[in-house]
């Protein structure tokens, strides 16, 4: 009975380890601090430079017909300060975005609310837009900057903004649902939440004897511990890895892999994995072992649905 309870506990919905959650919180705090600094620099660029008439210097323009016009121009020192400010803003937003993505990898959001999931996953790309779009608009609308100053400042702003946004996009945003699906696959195939990984690479494995782990120090642990070690994905070479460790391979292993891939691609709408088909498979779990594994999966699915 105790063993069955332990198996059921291992099958609950995926949750980050305490260490991973703590690291994620730290990464998020630092990301927010850096983003606040970047937006603060944006505010200085807008109100301290572009809209600050107090820094303008008198200028005189002589037209072709000899008419003399006096006015005010944007000083060169302010132009160079603006350029430097744009570069520093880009550095701050990019570092913040990378920290935010690390946090999302360790402690991902749920896909249940698509809008919330998108905002949380792509905040690293949204913040650069907030930081750069207003200042880019004001550069090109500024009446006191020369055409050359506008061209250079606007060009630099656009380039660093595009770089910051592209580096901030999370092209493969993780979710608790995806991590749970991969954990369920491990539990169904192995009967327990135990996987293997090394210091290199970004995936964890279901067999410690595969070539990817050869000649390396192998660590074993739960899927949550693998994610905490910055291994956010289960290998999809499940059939070959199971064979490498002389484990039974279900007839529908390809369907299981396809279901995991669907979660990764954001195409899955329900927390459901195909149950392994062990019909005729030598060495396959039978009887109580199969029922227990299925009970574990069902409990995990219920936990995700209730969360």
Percent helix / strand / coil, the chain, rounded to 5: 60, 5, 30
Whether residue 163 sits in one domain with residue 22: yes
Reading the chain (307 residues) residue by residue, the pLDDT tens digits are 334 434 334 447 899 999 999 999 999 999 999 999 999 999 999 999 999 999 999 876 655 565 666 678 999 999 999 999 999 999 999 999 999 999 999 999 998 899 999 999 999 999 999 999 999 999 999 999 999 999 999 999 999 999 999 999 999 999 998 998 899 889 888 888 999 999 888 999 999 999 889 888 999 999 999 999 999 999 999 999 999 999 999 999 999 999 888 888 877 655 567 888 888 888 877 655 566 666 656 655 555 555 5
Does residue 8 fall inside a structural domain? Answer: no
Strand partners, 205: 196
Nearest-angstrom CA–CA distance, 130 and 128: 5
Whether residue 126 sits in one domain with residue 51: yes
Assess contact for 12 and 299: CB atoms under 8 A. Answer: yes
Q: With 0-12 CB in 10 A as exposed, 13-18 as middle and 19+ as buried, what is 265?
A: exposed
The number of folded domains in the chain is 2
Does residue 48 fall inside a structural domain? Answer: yes
Question: Which residues have CB under 8 Å from 150's CB, separation 6+?
Answer: 139, 140, 142
Nearest-angstrom CA–CA distance, 207 and 243: 9
Does residue 106 fall inside a structural domain? Answer: yes
Strands 195-197 and 57-62: unpaired
Last residue of one domain, picked from the residues 168, 183, 217: 168
Range of the domain at 27: 18-168
User: Treating both helix axes as pointing N-terminal to C-terminal, what angle do 253-264 and 176-190 enclose, rounded to 10 degrees?
Assistant: 160
Nearest-angstrom CA–CA distance, 70 and 92: 40
Does residue 11 fall inside a structural domain? Answer: no
Whether residue 160 sits in one domain with residue 28: yes
Does residue 148 fall inside a structural domain? Answer: yes
């Amino acid at each position: 009975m105790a063993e069955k309870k332990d198996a059921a506990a291992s099958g609950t919905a995926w949750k980050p380890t305490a260490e991973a959650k703590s690291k994620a919180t730290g990464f998020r705090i630092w990301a927010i601090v850096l983003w606040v600094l970047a937006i603060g620099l944006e505010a200085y660029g807008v109100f301290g430079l572009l809209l600050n008439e107090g820094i303008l210097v008198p200028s005189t323009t002589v037209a072709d017909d000899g008419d003399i016009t006096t006015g005010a121009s944007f000083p060169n020192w302010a132009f160079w300060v603006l350029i430097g400010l744009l570069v520093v803003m880009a550095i701050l937003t990019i570092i913040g975005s990378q920290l935010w993505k690390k946090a999302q990898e360790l402690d991902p959001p749920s896909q249940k609310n698509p809008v919330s999931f998108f905002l949380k996953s792509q905040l690293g790309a949204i913040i650069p837009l907030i930081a750069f779009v207003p200042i880019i608009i004001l550069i090109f609308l500024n009446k006191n900057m020369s055409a050359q100053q506008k061209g250079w400042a606007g060009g630099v702003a656009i380039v660093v903004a595009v770089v910051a946004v592209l580096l901030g996009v999370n092209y493969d945003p993780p979710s608790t649902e995806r991590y749970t699906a991969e954990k369920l696959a491990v539990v169904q195939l192995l009967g327990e939440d135990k996987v293997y990984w090394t210091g290199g690479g970004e995936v964890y494995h279901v067999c410690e004897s595969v070539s990817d782990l050869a000649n390396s120090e192998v660590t074993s642990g739960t899927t949550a511990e693998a994610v905490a070690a910055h291994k956010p994905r289960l290998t999809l070479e499940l059939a070959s890895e199971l064979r490498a460790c002389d484990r039974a391979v279900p007839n529908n292993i390809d369907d299981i892999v396809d279901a995991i891939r669907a979660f990764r691609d954001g195409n899955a709408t329900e927390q459901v994995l195909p149950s392994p088909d062990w019909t005729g498979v030598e060495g396959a779990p039978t009887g109580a072992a199969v029922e227990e594994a299925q009970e574990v999966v069902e409990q995990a699915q219920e936990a995700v649905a209730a969360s």
